[in-house]
Chains A and B, each alone.
Chain A
Amino acid sequence: MQRIPIHDGLFTDAGALLGARCPDCERWHFPADADCPYCSGERCQTAALSDRGTLCLFTGVNNRPPGYLGEVPFGFGVVELPEGLRLIARLTEADPTKLRAGMAMRLVIVPLHVDDEGREVVSYAFAPDEVA
């Protein structure tokens, strides 16, 4: 089955998230954009982000939110990457009792749904990288 990303420019074919770093304030942001959301710099450079991070905060989503095309329930939280940014991300683990702050997480590219043309639409999420 053909696989397509949920949105262009979020991650590479190899499955790395694409962020951008501002040479003026040296901060990273995601998704990548030439304009810096922190200092208004206009020369941010797109680059792959680390595929490992640390879980900061988390909850579970038990009801289908409007417009969402994947499976419920699912996890939702904040993951900090070594580059020095925190991401809002879907989590593969929906049960908050199986998650804890400080847990090592790894990026995964996962199927979201099959579109009208029979293509598998994939998105990104973070999965626990250790046993809770």
Chain B
Amino acid sequence: MSAGVAIAGVGIHPFGRFGDKTVTAMGVEAVKAALRDAGIGRGGFQAAFCGTVYSGVAAGHKVLTALGLSGVPIVNVEAGCASGGAALGLGVEAIRSGRCDAVLVFGIEKMPKGIIRSSFFEPWREQAGLAVTPAYFALRAQRLMRDSDVTREHLAYVSVKNHANGVHNPYAMFRKPFSLEQVLASAVVCEPLTVYMLCSPNEGAAAVVLRRAAGGGVRIRAAALRSHLPGSVLGEHTPMCGLPDDGVPPPSELAARAAYEEAGIGPEDIDVAEVQDTDSARELISCEELGLCPKGGAGRMIAERRSDLGGPLPVNPSGGLLSKGEPLGASALGQVIELYWQLRGEAGARQVADARVALGHTVGRGANASVVILSR
């Protein structure tokens, strides 16, 4: 039996825009808060893993150097939107293997404004208009609407729901409710997605201390990471071409299967979920791929308000990325911290009643998907 892994402490820097404040300064705040929460300092952890995409060379080292906490192995992890989940998985393995008693896992990011630009795309592809992130999101939304009963109103309601939840999250970038009419009437970025149906890339940091645990507390039951298989032209690996016979399971489905097996539980056991909602359609696609609703059932789930805060399976009670914004390297750990609070009954006005099992999910370019399962 491998060692159990528990969360010993958490720390978060709000997600938003913070002017000239450096990404290192944000990371320092989150890490200090997590170490204080866990009641440890130098010598209290034996390895550190830092998720980030845009922070450059040895970004995690800069944070720990500023705090005089270097000396342990520090690994910087880039896995697109799943960077924080990938870092968490490495931390969990370091404890399960018996090599570490405690590890520090953190994510940091300071994203450029506007449509995300990524070195993933060759310059000619950008120049030719073939590297348009929201257009890929829109095509996936179109496919979802073609293949199921999902409507524009359903897409808009995802944004309404998440912004209503985000009002109660002090760490979210946007804390204002929107009406269905406002979301539908906002500027069309790429049909059917309006500007209020898309998340904003932004800045922030999140840190978690993991420790070996025999029982009690909030446990990490699974931290799975999977990449895409070749096939789909609309895969998160944003290929130039794909196959017409697209029956290939997407990376989120692969990661979910692995996580459910690792945790020994199924999607029917999940009480609360934080899933990738870079756009409104993405949340619905995520729910289907994670088995949180039947394939083709996301429209019904949203129409019946099943994923509302008061519903049977609340999705994105934090407000999701639509409210929080997305600092890539920090977003998965931001989800984990929200779920930790939910499982401890510390989520205030956005608390899900009696949550015992929780799921976090990210997926992004490359493509990697991470699925984290926690329980108390």
Using a CB–CB distance below 8 Å, which chain A residues touch chain B?
6-7, 19, 27-31, 37-38, 57-63, 65-70, 74, 76-78, 80, 84-90, 96, 101, 112, 121, 123-124
Query: Which chain A residue has the least Cβ–Cβ distance from B230?
Result: A38
Is the Cβ of A67 less than 8 Å from the Cβ of B135?
no
User: Which chain B residues (191-250) contact chain A, with CB distance < 8 Å?
Assistant: 191-192, 230-231, 233-234, 238-244
Is the Cβ of B127 less than 8 Å from the Cβ of A88?
no
Asked if B123 is at the interface (CB within 8 A of a chain A CB), the reply is yes
Is the Cβ of B190 less than 8 Å from the Cβ of A60?
yes
CA distance A84 to B245 in the complex (A): 9
CA distance A76 to B116 in the complex (A): 17
Asked if B42 is at the interface (CB within 8 A of a chain A CB), the reply is no
Set of chain A residues within 8 Å of B73, measured between Cβ atoms: none
Set of chain A residues within 8 Å of B123, measured between Cβ atoms: 67
Is the Cβ of A66 less than 8 Å from the Cβ of B115?
yes
**Contact partner of B190 among A30, A59, A67, A123, CB < 8 A?**
A59
Asked if B131 is at the interface (CB within 8 A of a chain A CB), the reply is yes
CA distance A65 to B138 in the complex (A): 14
Is the Cβ of A29 less than 8 Å from the Cβ of B241?
yes
Is the Cβ of B146 less than 8 Å from the Cβ of A87?
no
Query: Which chain A residue has the least Cβ–Cβ distance from B245?
Result: A84
Is the Cβ of B243 less than 8 Å from the Cβ of A86?
yes
Is the Cβ of A70 less than 8 Å from the Cβ of B128?
yes
Q: Show 11 residue pairs from A and B whose CB-CB distance is below 8 angstroms, ordered by the A residue.
A: A6-B127, A7-B128, A60-B188, A61-B132, A66-B131, A69-B128, A70-B129, A85-B242, A86-B242, A88-B130, A112-B128
Query: Which chain A residue has the least Cβ–Cβ distance from B232?
Result: A86
CA distance A77 to B134 in the complex (A): 12
Set of chain B residues within 8 Å of A68, measured between Cβ atoms: 126-129, 131-132
Set of chain A residues within 8 Å of B190, measured between Cβ atoms: 59-62, 76
Asked if B142 is at the interface (CB within 8 A of a chain A CB), the reply is yes
Set of chain B residues within 8 Å of A88, measured between Cβ atoms: 130, 233, 238-241
Is the Cβ of B233 less than 8 Å from the Cβ of A90?
no
A38-B231, A67-B123, A67-B126 are known; give 19 further A-B pairs, CB within 8 A: A7-B122, A37-B239, A59-B135, A59-B142, A61-B129, A65-B126, A65-B129, A65-B133, A67-B117, A67-B127, A68-B126, A76-B138, A77-B139, A78-B234, A84-B243, A84-B244, A85-B244, A86-B241, A88-B239
Q: Shortest distance in angstroms between A10's beta carbon and chain B's nearest beta carbon?
A: 8
**Contact partner of B139 among A70, A76, A84, CB < 8 A?**
A76
Asked if B67 is at the interface (CB within 8 A of a chain A CB), the reply is no
Asked if B189 is at the interface (CB within 8 A of a chain A CB), the reply is yes
Indicate whether A65 sits within 8 Å of B127 (C-beta atoms), given known contacts A30-B240, A85-B242: no
Q: Which 6 A-B pairs have the closest CB atoms?
A: A67-B126, A7-B124, A59-B138, A66-B117, A86-B233, A76-B135
Set of chain A residues within 8 Å of B191, measured between Cβ atoms: 59-60, 96
Query: Which chain B residue has the least Cβ–Cβ distance from A68?
Result: B129
CA distance A30 to B239 in the complex (A): 9
Set of chain B residues within 8 Å of A63, measured between Cβ atoms: 115, 189
